[in-house]
Amino acid sequence: MNLKVQQACRQLKAGKLVVYPTESVFGIGCLALDDKALKHLRRVKRRETTKGFIVLCASPEQMLLSFPEIKLTTAQQSRISQTQQHPTTWLVPYPRKRAALILGNNHKIAIRITRHPVAKKLCEECGPIISSSANPAGVKTPSSMLKVRKLFRSKAAFFLNEKLGDAKKTSQIIDLVNGEVIRPA
């Protein structure tokens, strides 16, 4: 495993925030099942408690193992497993009481099976991670790691400065149950 990814994993497992590349922008996140780190991330991003977060998983199998309350039909499992042309975040029914910090006021968990090699490796080594653009609420998403460092200098424990994916826009968001496109590609 890449030394930088190992360092990032150590910080994530210690409950710290890490900046890392995704398919389109730099993300800032923590382990998805670390409530203390999630609260810290929400404060750092100045994110309203009503808004949910996106969870990155390395595979559909990791998603189902990490979130056993997710129940998918065979068709839904097939759909979430298919490689999409554009990065896709799926809204999946989920019991609110289990992950209120992730869900905000929503009754569906937002999950993306990441194809970005670095983000995927982080998930494989550490477990599902929260993916939120590396900018505080109301601030334009920075396009360079230098700008991200200025925004989160003392707030993130590690900056994984690797190449972004080639997606020109953030992930599309689709409701897995009814196919409704919430945010287009």
3-state secondary structure of 48: coil
CA–CA separation, 96 and 60 (whole Å):
20
Taking the alpha carbons at both ends of the chain, their separation in whole angstroms is 32
Between CA 75 and CA 4 the distance in angstroms is: 38
What gap in Å lies between CA 120 and CA 128, rounded to an integer?
9
Residue 185 is predicted with a pLDDT of 87
Tokens of 139: 């601030």
Helix locations, 59-184, DSSP H = 60-66, 74-81, 100-103, 117-126, 145-152
Q: pLDDT 10s digit of each residue in the chain, 185 long?
A: 689 999 999 999 999 999 999 999 999 999 999 999 999 999 999 999 999 999 999 999 999 999 999 999 999 999 999 988 899 999 999 976 778 899 999 989 999 999 999 999 999 999 999 999 999 999 999 989 999 999 999 999 999 999 999 999 999 999 999 999 999 98
In angstroms, the CA 165 to CA 74 distance is 30
What gap in Å lies between CA 183 and CA 31, rounded to an integer? 25
Q: What is the pLDDT of residue 131?
A: 94
pLDDT for 157 equals 96
pLDDT of residue 95: 79
**Residue 49 is encoded by which pair of tokens?**
């408690």
Q: Give residue 97's pLDDT.
A: 73
Give residue 29's pLDDT. 97
pLDDT of residue 111: 97
pLDDT for 1? 61
Condensed to tens digits (0 to 9), the pLDDT of residues 113-151 reads 999 999 999 999 999 999 999 999 999 999 899 999 999
Distance, CA of 109 to CA of 53 (rounded, Å) = 8
